[in-house]
Chains A and B, each alone.
Chain A
Amino acid sequence: MELPLVLLIGVFFAAAVYLMLSKFLVRVLLGVVLLGNGVNLLLFANGRVLREVPPIIPAGHDVPVTLTANPLPQALILTAIVISFSFFAFLLVLVYRAYQDLGTDNGNEMRVAEPENDPLPPTGY
């Protein structure tokens, strides 16, 4: 069960890196989202993949009655999903604003903060 999961993670990472190498911010953003999903799968695989029941304690008990799947990676993934989701939402707004204000979504053309022909400091007075 691990092997296909690991291969899938590799595909996710490769696609994410490929997209992030683009100079267009929307593709970079999609790359970041894919990377986040790849990392979630990686967390899941690292928690060991087992064919066990979901870790839900039945009514009337304080502790699980049977062997259950490891709940911790699921909690970690949930946290990571929440965080990457909020970052995705923020970055989406930011990229959209950048497109509106700077007139481009090409990272190479965004030179407002670092102008290309910035004057050198004076050597004396």
Chain B
Amino acid sequence: MAVTPTDLSAALVMTPVAPADWLVVLPPAWCLLTGALLLMLRKSLHLQAWLAVPALAVLVLIDAALLAHVATNGPATMVMGRWLPPFGIAFTADLTGVLFALAGAVVALAGAVHALTDIDGRGRRYGFYPFLLLLMAGVSGAFLTGDIFNLYVWFEVLLISSFGLITLGSEPRQIDGAIKYAFLNLIATTLFLVTTGYLYGIFGTLNMADIAVKAAAARAELPLMTLATLYLLAFGMKAAAFPVNFWLPASYHTPRVVVSALFAGLLTKVGIYALLRTLIMLFPLEREELSFVIALAGAATMILGALGAIGQSDIRRLLGYAVISGIGVMLAGLSLGSPGGIGGAIFYALHSMIVMTALYMAAGLAGRLAGSFDLNLLGGLYTRSALFSALSLVLFFAVSGLPPFSGFWPKVMVAKAAMDIGAWWLVVVVLLTGFLTTIAFGRVFALAYWRPAADALPDETIPPSALVPLAALTALTVVFGLFPDPLLSLVQHAAQGLADPQAYIGSVFPGRT
């Protein structure tokens, strides 16, 4: 067959790829590869953990190396199959994405170690570790991709693995929670797809850098407001923002505690990341128009989450509301749109990933020590383990936003950014939320830890492999609370990179800046 060769070199990457650029695609590829390997070996139960924990440790190292690369050299891009953007699907790692990816990998590693004792043989036979790695593939892919349809695909990858995780064990309670979780999340991602369809119809491209350029050039005559509003609704639903948050309190307390911990750390934050990416980088002026709506939704989310937390007697359901309350702070930061507000939102998201995961782990251990998750029955945890109680207390302070822990600084950033534009009511709401959260968690400490046990506690001890990840995550909040400067400067650079995406665009289209 005679093939007439056509010169395609103008549309192809012709230069050899630098090894450092591989870091951009390695996180999802590595997770898929190891996840598939673990799925093949799902019969050998003891091998699972021994492969999954090192695999996730390697993922943390890859993400850390990528962070070092991006922090020194700026955003990095790799395209699939040699096709130049916007034709090839591009993976672009900028500071925001890499910070989220690294925090996610740390959380997943902690969860995998914690699961050594929390997930029994039955849970492993249902494939906890393979699903965790596939979930991480979805999460890392979502944080690093530079193509909006590809973002949708990674959303679905993480959604389908989360379905596997949430039904782990198939108890009636889990099935009930999974039904609500699955249907509402599926509708949210479908809405995301609808919006992406419109976006493609308007711009004729799916590459985010390309969209940013085209949106800035032809803002006046394009119906961008529709896109921004639809994305706000779709990702707001994923992030569990009021008034589309009802799937979260209905489902997060049903799976195994370590699964709840991973969900609390990873899933809603992907929604927040997508909101930052679309509303700050692609449609900044439209976000400006919507800012009051976002601020109202954020304030309602904060207050509703805090009040919901006060009204719960099951500590896992209480934590579900605490996750929602944190989402409100991030939305408030997003609504302000100033570098301080965006930086605060990013910082709070990173803080929330670590602290919420650790809190669910603590709740799981409390339940194991005291034999119940109900505040009416819990008690005597302080006499059981002083170290565990101290760690929990630090986490309670951190989630309430009290100094000197990591929750304090992002709240200061958001509150200051709100003061700068005179939005005093938002400052009041942030402070009121902190106060209400302190009440909710202060009561948990008083009742579950301080109060003497009503009757004899079950004869349980905390295994070291469950305590070490909890202590490590708690140590992270203390370190970032006491020495916030390095992270603050990274977060501020990340916020600038989102608000002014010249470096991002330059990384995707080297000739165009």
Contact = CB atoms under 8 A, between A and B. Distances in A.
The answer to whether any beta carbons of A and B sit under 8 Å apart in the complex is yes
A101 B137 CA distance: 32
A15 interface: no
A7 interface: no
A112 interface: yes
Contact of A97 (B1, B4, B170, B310): B170
Given A91-B183, A94-B179, A125-B447, A63 B6 contact: yes
Contacts, number: 124
Contacts of A80: 193
B263 to A, nearest CB: 14
Interface stretch (B250-258, B390-398, B473-481): B250-258
Interface string B304-330: 000000111110000000000000000
Contacts of A110: 176, 179-180
A119 interface: yes
Given A32-B187, A94-B167, A102-B172, A122 B4 contact: no
A39 B193 contact: yes
Interface string B373-398: 01110010000000000000000000
B194 interface: yes
Does more than half of chain A's interface fall in helix, strand or loop, or is it mixed?
helix
Interface stretch (B16-24, B34-42, B196-204): B196-204
B14 interface: no
Contact of A113 (B149, B173, B186, B446): B173
A90 B160 contact: yes
Interface in A5-53: 20, 25, 28, 32, 35-36, 39, 42-43, 45-48
A51 to B, nearest CB: 18
Given A118-B314, A119-B376, A125-B451, A47 B201 contact: yes
Interface in A57-78: 59-63, 72-73, 76
Contacts of B193: 39, 43, 80
B219 interface: no
A97 B311 contact: no
A60 B2 contact: yes
A54 interface: no
A87 B186 contact: yes
A120 B313 contact: yes
B182 interface: yes
B374 to A, nearest CB: 8
A28 B200 CA distance: 28
Interface in A95-125: 95, 97-98, 101-102, 107, 110-114, 118-122, 125
Report the 3 A-B pairs with minimum CB-CB distance, sorted nearest first.
Answer: A46-B201, A62-B6, A121-B313
Given A62-B5, A112-B173, 8 more contacts: A43-B197, A46-B197, A62-B4, A98-B175, A110-B176, A111-B176, A120-B311, A122-B447
Interface of A: 20, 25, 28, 32, 35-36, 39, 42-43, 45-48, 59-63, 72-73, 76, 79-80, 83, 86-87, 90-91, 94-95, 97-98, 101-102, 107, 110-114, 118-122, 125
15 contacts: A25-B183, A42-B194, A42-B198, A46-B197, A61-B3, A62-B6, A80-B193, A90-B160, A90-B163, A91-B182, A94-B179, A98-B176, A98-B179, A113-B254, A122-B375
